[in-house]
Chain A
């Protein structure tokens, strides 16, 4: 089946039908134009699937860009929750948002959400750019109808329909250097639209139409074309989807500029508070192609984009790795084998570059038997061309362990990670870095974090938003990935809730991987929305019993769910988890007969569940205590050995039914647990794959000793 047909089927599957939810949050589909000029405000038209009626707040990721809803013609009645079903509300598929980018804003993509009475939206995208924005106009589908633009400019437009080709004409001076950088596919890949995305290609032509240069995929599917115009004259820029596919939602941005365009810096790593001189890699660079950078001391570690202090016009943002590890930089000498490896002291952060085809970089470190280390290469995630392969060798060059792609369990990156490697003996070992394809060049920079494997954990949240109405509850499932030998229990907490919303943080049991947090909106909670932060804390015993236990903490990363052709459920990371309190939804409440369950091994207990439907809502409701889809479990905070007894439960409430029950049973060998928090959820399908989950007040499950 073609991708197009698959996407069409998915689209049809996503349409709400009879028996499904009558409420749905807005799914943002596009932003037009897809850019905001730094130091200015840009009014953008944001379109959505489902209803943007009453949009009142905009959340923008990162720093430097803000947004506000331009008051729509149709306003919500009041701040008071509205009980009208969605189909009785005015249909507002598009709104205007005025985005403002501060002068010091870093260029690049931002994500944003829109809060509405129907709930907070999925993510939309926007690009902060330096040069004035022009939007395509008129019929510019053939070269003879090309739209005239003056460069530098940020050219915005859309692949409005299949076979759409857009032409722009401009003049360029003799021997002038320009870059044409497209944002489209990368922006759409953040959109929760469940369909294929654009794959742009740009082509430069002269007045006769002869192709001068073209670029298809540079930053993943998005092009970057650097070109020196040999003679002064009129030239044409063509942009299209490489497959000639199109959609009104496929917006693009072309940064047509003669500013410095920095693709990479070397070293790619910057230490907060320390001045670092960076060698710039890219196009149209100034005569002094270096920049001295000092980041504030409190900048968090990780990947970042920064403005570079350059002589002359400001350029593009530069990708850096912020790290506080001891600094090591690849030396200039030969170190391509274990025998010639460059000595380093672990732990450290090594900045290196595979400078030419076939190059291999080796670093030697010394450690004791039983020392445990983690090695992580940051390259592709930092816009490097390097697709790294990481190996740990013994001193003689024998391979001990190898990793190509980093698999987090949720997604796969081209970067490499070896965790919890244990030195088999006292001695010297070698970290070997190469490109999978044995390529190299100035843009093949990398950073290797070499850290001691210590107890820690990483959390993610299987949702990017929680939608509440006054009096309703919602569950947030948090999954833990324990590392460095940590195996303990994790307590969950939440910060930044909107007014009128309370939370009961659960825990992730030592024997489990998931925990849940139950949010509850008060009956009089005002309409509102806020980004929250979910944190996990734990205590890990020190390796040396004489030492006090270690306090561990981690902030959870929100994930956006996505459904694949065929119905499979996947995720991608987003920067915000937003909680909103909106209008009354399909269910007004979920009540339980009890909030405590005490089970003996082999025993069971029934929980009666009563749902209150909004008037007129007769869709099916399913009850559950596990967050699952098509048999795969995405959130399960039940103690080990405890499960639903399906035969002794009534979980499907159809038509006007409002009473059901769930029976929990404990296996005969279930281990004792006290007061583990679980969520009793009432699920209402939005479409074939997506659903709303309403949660009752928390239930505490205890398994007693036999």
Chain B
């Protein structure tokens, strides 16, 4: 029995479409273009494929800049009863046989042989591999549609079809099977709704007679079989071309290939979903045809069957630019320059010494230079003084007399990692909080190799009072939380979505999630009395049992690294995890860490958000990220060396003042990215500038804000400037945004005004010394901006002094102005 109406209807459609795209033929000669693929095999009913036609360069090659002719070319099927052309370059298998597609452009023709097999009168439609693919393409399985929490209109599908059996039941059995009519498939609600034959809240998603419509109808007519165990599964996805460079107006048809676990590769362009990562640069159609409307670099994200791939699009701002005066201090500069040239973005010049001094101090140790330190640096004529300053700040000189910033370095970076590790007495108690804080600090002070730092966390055990990292397992007190925390912190992979459904933009699903969580299934906690009966000590340990089950299948999950194979059982499952995680061969690890440090120093990561690294969120300069990661790995994960490499690069030392030609650049580091000082360094800077201290709860007077170990302090200033409570592993918990409350507080609040007026503060001491006007102003500038005032500034100050009722008022006003100015509040 012939499937209900599939062939006749489909053939009619094909005939019309073939006629439409069949434009005059030309003789086959040496064509100035190439067709991808050169030959084609289509297997099975409804098999489709996309041809891509690319103009050849004069030398006969194809490059990233080669023009796409797919839309302009004409296509003719030598046998439309075997293969039909539905739209430019897009083919459909009709019946078994051999044919060719004649592709013509510029007066030349190339013939693409096509072999069609497996087309039968009673095709077996795969539910997972075809029906769900069609539904996904139509958008039915999107979170905004029937895959929302409660479905739509009583019809609920799984997100991106991660649960085929449930989806099959929802389509064929739910509501007394009202959605399907297998005797007359065209009358199935399942088809009537998306074709708008009956009202449908989601609008029209299918056209009657379209290939996917016919596919679904055929499936219904064949009894609507469910997921088959032997249906092929997609292993990976490829997109062609992977990268295009061109001018505004450039367009490109994409072709998507999926590699299946049955060893076959199929063209899945028709079922792939296409999204531009930046619509202002590139717009893409549902058929995978993009056109560039703006300048810059972006990507087209392609998704199919839980896999994702990217096609990079570069539209330079200018061609063949010169990087005037550019010199390369290290490989960062070479790779950055390559990207800037590619994009046609000129870099800003180097910043001045004072700017560099202040930037380096605040970035490396979260602390302002003292006036004496500033003067010494500014007055130095040593051509290597910037590099030497970096070495001193990082404690790399080997000379104890120069390596004097170790405490500030450890405190500042402890603040960063304590945020991320959620070092918070509210969740791990006061002693646990201190243990974790002190362990982080000691690790950083010693410049412990970062892989070791992470291994010690992942495999932490013992007393939560004596082993700081053991508190990781109290902060995250179940295998799922531990898996999410470890993957996001140390791999930059946000696994949380995959807890419930397949990650929308990533290849990870529940199998990956629970396989990863299984590494932590045997971590337990026991009580101990070794710190006294009042001590309340807990000991993190590895139990001999404990498993994680798959929430849908109930299957016991074997510990499995992301994108890896299950590991052999070990006395402590975390050991193989730690080895895999920190292996030099694990690109996730080093790329994630260097990306974080790039963001900390350069104002934004090569990947943003910096803890969301995935194939569909590519770096702005992947070569630079790869090179930094390789260098970091080669250096045995030496963080200070990484900091030194970045800070001594020319890129880090660029002026923050943009040029007209790079003012719009926010991604490629053509000028230094201005950052607001975060809460603790800013408060310390105000204290340093005003010569005062702030008393913090449970800390001795004189403690700096960067020394604070806990997440929660009743300090209005710190709260207003975004000190996080450490309840999230997301970098975003620490707000770097400027807001009105911050401005009002420094302008009108009592923190700054009281410190300026402090009887023991810098200003009062300065006034008591009766120094000349110029010296006083100079000290205030050095204490705030780390530079001397300019002549104009001195003149202006003098005029204000002359207008003031008394010198004290003037100097207070001056210090208030300096502290409230952007050069003080920001790292520039």
Contact = CB atoms under 8 A, between A and B. Distances in A.
A439 B465 CA distance: 17
Given A216-B438, A387-B539, A358 B534 contact: no
A437 B699 contact: no
Contact of B403 (A197, A210, A216): A210
B216 to A, nearest CB: 56
A209 interface: yes
Interface in B525-571: 526-536, 539, 541-542, 544, 571
B526 A211 contact: no
B700 A165 contact: yes
B461 interface: yes
Contacts of B526: 404-405
A199 B431 contact: yes
Contacts of A231: 400
B462 A214 contact: no
A380 B533 CA distance: 16
Contacts of B753: none
A196 interface: yes
A220 B531 contact: yes
Contacts of B434: 216, 242-243
B702 interface: yes
A12 interface: no
A462 to B, nearest CB: 15
B442 A209 contact: no
A214 B438 contact: yes
B812 to A, nearest CB: 29
B29 interface: no
Given A165-B700, A216-B438, A570-B533, A210 B407 contact: yes
A185 B532 contact: yes
B534 A211 contact: no
Contacts of A412: 527-529
Most B CB contacts (10 A, CB to CB) among A380, A414, A439 go to A414
Interface string A558-571: 00001011000010
A436 interface: yes
B435 interface: yes
Given A216-B435, A404-B526, A412-B527, A244 B700 contact: yes
A18 interface: no
Contacts of A188: 532
Contacts of B442: 214
A141 B702 CA distance: 11
A674 to B, nearest CB: 40
Contacts of A604: none
B541 A3 contact: no
Interface string A384-410: 000100000000000000101100000
Given A163-B699, A216-B438, A411 B529 contact: yes
B455 interface: no
Interface residues of A, number: 51
Nearest to B699: A244
Given A244-B699, A438-B542, A221 B400 contact: no
A206 B542 CA distance: 40
Contacts of B699: 163, 244
Contacts of B541: 436-437
Nearest to A164: B700
Contacts of A199: 431, 465, 531
A243 B701 CA distance: 14
A217 interface: yes
A387 B462 contact: yes
B572 interface: yes
A13 interface: no
A119 to B, nearest CB: 23
B293 interface: no
B462 A210 contact: no
A437 B461 contact: yes
A145 B790 CA distance: 40
Contacts of A220: 530-531
B431 A243 contact: yes
Contacts of B528: 412, 414
A118 interface: no
Contact of A358 (B571, B701, B702): B571
A593 interface: no
Contacts of A565: 534
A516 to B, nearest CB: 25
Interface string A347-389: 0000000000010000000000000000000001000000100
B493 interface: no
B621 interface: no
Contact of A242 (B438, B461, B463, B532): B438
Nearest to B437: A242
Chain B's interface: helix, strand, loop or mixed, by majority? Answer: loop
A632 interface: no
A142 interface: yes
Nearest to B433: A243
Interface string B369-407: 000000000000000000000000000000011011011
A380 B406 contact: no
A162 B529 CA distance: 25
Given A210-B403, A210-B407, A436-B541, A195 B534 contact: yes
Contact of A564 (B410, B533, B544): B533
A530 to B, nearest CB: 28
Given A210-B400, A404-B526, A412-B527, A201 B700 contact: no
Contacts of A206: 400
A183 to B, nearest CB: 14
Interface in B552-606: 571-572
A188 B532 CA distance: 9
A108 to B, nearest CB: 18
A438 B534 contact: no
A405 B541 CA distance: 12
A231 B434 CA distance: 31
A605 to B, nearest CB: 40
B430 interface: yes
A164 B462 CA distance: 29
B445 interface: yes
A190 to B, nearest CB: 9
Contacts of B400: 206, 208, 210, 231
A572 interface: yes
B698 A243 contact: yes
Most A CB contacts (10 A, CB to CB) among B406, B530, B535 go to B530
B462 A437 contact: yes
A643 to B, nearest CB: 31
Interface in B780-808: none
Nearest to A241: B434
B435 A210 contact: no
A2 B702 CA distance: 25
Nearest to A233: B400
Contacts of B529: 411-413
A162 B698 contact: yes
A704 interface: no
A189 interface: yes
B778 interface: no
B572 A211 contact: no
Contacts of A380: 530
Contacts of B79: none
A221 B531 contact: yes
B441 to A, nearest CB: 8
Contacts of B438: 201, 214, 216, 242
16 contacts: A189-B533, A199-B531, A208-B400, A210-B400, A217-B465, A220-B531, A243-B431, A243-B434, A244-B700, A245-B698, A380-B530, A412-B529, A436-B539, A436-B541, A436-B542, A562-B533
Closest 6 CB pairs of A and B: A189-B532, A217-B466, A437-B461, A163-B700, A208-B404, A210-B406
Given A221-B532, A242-B434, A243-B698, 18 more contacts: A3-B536, A141-B700, A163-B700, A185-B531, A195-B534, A199-B531, A208-B404, A214-B438, A216-B434, A244-B699, A405-B526, A413-B529, A436-B539, A436-B542, A437-B541, A438-B572, A439-B462, A562-B533
